[in-house]
């Protein structure tokens, strides 16, 4: 009896849903219905020149995705809009918060329904200077391709792009913005690639270059404290040390002006027996080469004081713990970088290095209206 009732209910549900052209799309602003209509507003986009201080490298622009005022603004809206997630609860900005230099303050990122991601959210500053692939393992070559994945990732936003496009095409505001940014004539011409490219345009404009460090070293408007100076000259960027003297040498891999070389290395944090034992293969998972296992991208240290916890898996809660790890040296795994060697670090030196690291915080970035939530 019950089984028949269930089967019948199942059949009714099936026929009901197969007749319904309108799959469940959670989007308060998007009325059900037509996804193909004409868009009539202006289709003019305005080229945008990305201004970067002369002490920063030249930004890497994508000729297939030129920056426009309208594209950047569309991208900013998409970045802050939770309709990109399956239940309209999570936007890119949920995991990339401006006041935390676009990180989330968690060791591991948390997606829809509290699902735990296996990596720590990355800061999104100065992406325009990275030639070596995005994510901790460099798995995304183009910035716009990167933006496709969080939407589809089950642990992050768990939404299908088909649904996202349905929402965008029915939305009262977005179609006109897509027309202005990409010249589409009909809502059905809005594509995933356009949405991702708009987000990449916005992300490229997020430049961090106005920290205390920049004001001291490049703008000549402020001075280092004695502690910061010690941290910089004798610890972070050591030069001319006699052979055999051990030193932190952070600047080898986190070099100025971006404070990350964006190259992949094993910085010695993982205590494993062999190259096969890394819990997260990092670059090796992308290249398939065992010697790349356990290598991750050396990310920027700009704004590092506000982006705790640290490393690809958020294993260190504080910068003190990070310094203790580097001072202890690596674990002797075969592909550890030769620059990872233990070094003595007195209490005074530790305070100095921390003071130096804090000088990389860019308050201008953390509060810049251009990067803020447009819906607030």
Q: How far apart are CA 53 and CA 220, in angstroms?
A: 13
Q: How far apart are CA 305 and CA 103, in angstroms?
A: 12
Q: Do the Cβ atoms of 267 and 235 come closer than 8 Å?
A: no
- Least distance from ligand HEC to the Cβ atom of residue 17, Å: 28
Backbone CA torsion sign across 204, 206, 211, 215: positive
Site for ligand HEC in 43-102 (CB under 6 A): 79, 84, 90, 92, 94-96
- Looking at 74, 199, 352, 360, which residue binds ligand HEC (CB under 6 A)? 199
Cβ-based neighbour number of residue 81 at 10 Å: 23
127 binds ligand HEC (CB under 6 A): yes
Write the CB contacts of 225 (distance below 8 Å, at least 6 apart in sequence).
355
Hunting for tokens 């062999």 — which residue is that? 274
Whose Cβ is closer to ligand HEC: residue 39's or residue 311's? 311
Q: Do the Cβ atoms of 120 and 197 come closer than 8 Å?
A: no
Whole-angstrom CA distances from 237 to 59, 169, 232 are 24, 52, 6
Site for ligand HEC in 310-339 (CB under 6 A): 310-312, 322-323, 326, 337, 339
- Looking at 27, 39, 157, 164, which residue binds ligand HEC (CB under 6 A)? 157
Site for ligand HEC in 250-289 (CB under 6 A): 250, 252-254, 265, 267, 269
The span of 2-10, 120-128, 207-215, 285-293 binding ligand HEC (CB under 6 A) equals 120-128
Q: Do the Cβ atoms of 278 and 289 come closer than 8 Å?
A: no
Site for ligand HEC in 286-305 (CB under 6 A): 296, 298-299, 301, 304
Site size toward ligand HEC, by CB under 6 A: 53
Q: What residues make contact with ligand HEC under the rule CB under 6 A? A: 79, 84, 90, 92, 94-96, 109-111, 117, 119-122, 124, 127, 134-137, 146-147, 150-151, 156-157, 199, 203, 248-250, 252-254, 265, 267, 269, 296, 298-299, 301, 304, 307, 310-312, 322-323, 326, 337, 339-340
């Amino acid at each position: 009896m019950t089984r028949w009732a269930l089967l019948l209910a199942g059949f009714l549900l099936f026929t009901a849903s197969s007749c319904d052209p309108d799959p469940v799309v959670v989007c308060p602003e998007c009325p059900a219905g037509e996804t193909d209509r004409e868009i009539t507003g202006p289709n003019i986009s305005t080229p945008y020149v990305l201004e970067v201080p002369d002490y920063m490298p030249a930004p890497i622009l994508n000729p297939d995705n030129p920056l426009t005022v309208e594209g950047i603004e569309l991208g900013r809206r998409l970045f802050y809009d939770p309709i990109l997630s399956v239940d309209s609860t999570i936007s890119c900005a949920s995991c990339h918060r401006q006041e935390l230099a676009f990180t989330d303050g968690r060791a591991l990122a948390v997606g829809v329904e509290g699902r735990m991601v296996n990596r720590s959210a990355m800061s999104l500053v100065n992406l325009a200077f990275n030639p070596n692939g995005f994510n901790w393992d460099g798995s995304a070559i183009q910035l716009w391709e990167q933006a496709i994945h969080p939407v589809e990732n089950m642990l992050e936003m768990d939404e299908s792009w088909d649904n996202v496009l349905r929402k965008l095409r029915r939305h009262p505001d977005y179609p006109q913005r897509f027309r202005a940014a990409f010249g589409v004539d009909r809502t059905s011409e809005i594509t995933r690639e356009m949405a991702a490219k708009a987000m990449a345009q916005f992300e490229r404009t997020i430049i961090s270059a106005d920290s205390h460090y920049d004001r001291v070293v490049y703008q000549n408007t402020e001075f280092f404290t004695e502690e910061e100076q010690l941290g910089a000259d004798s610890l972070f960027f050591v030069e001319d040390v006699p052979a055999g003297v051990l030193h932190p040498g952070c600047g080898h891999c986190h070099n100025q002006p971006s404070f990350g070389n964006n190259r992949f290395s094993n910085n010695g944090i993982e205590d494993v027996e062999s190259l096969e034992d890394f819990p997260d293969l990092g670059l090796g998972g992308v290249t398939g080469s065992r010697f790349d296992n356990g290598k991750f991208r050396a990310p920027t240290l700009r704004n590092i004081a506000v982006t705790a916890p640290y490393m690809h898996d958020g294993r260190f809660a504080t910068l003190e713990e990070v310094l203790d790890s580097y001072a202890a040296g690596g674990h002797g795994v075969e592909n550890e970088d030769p620059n990872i060697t233990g070094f003595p670090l007195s209490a005074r030196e530790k305070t100095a290095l921390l003071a130096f690291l804090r000088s990389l915080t860019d308050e201008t970035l953390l509060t810049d209206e251009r990067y803020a939530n447009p819906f607030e």
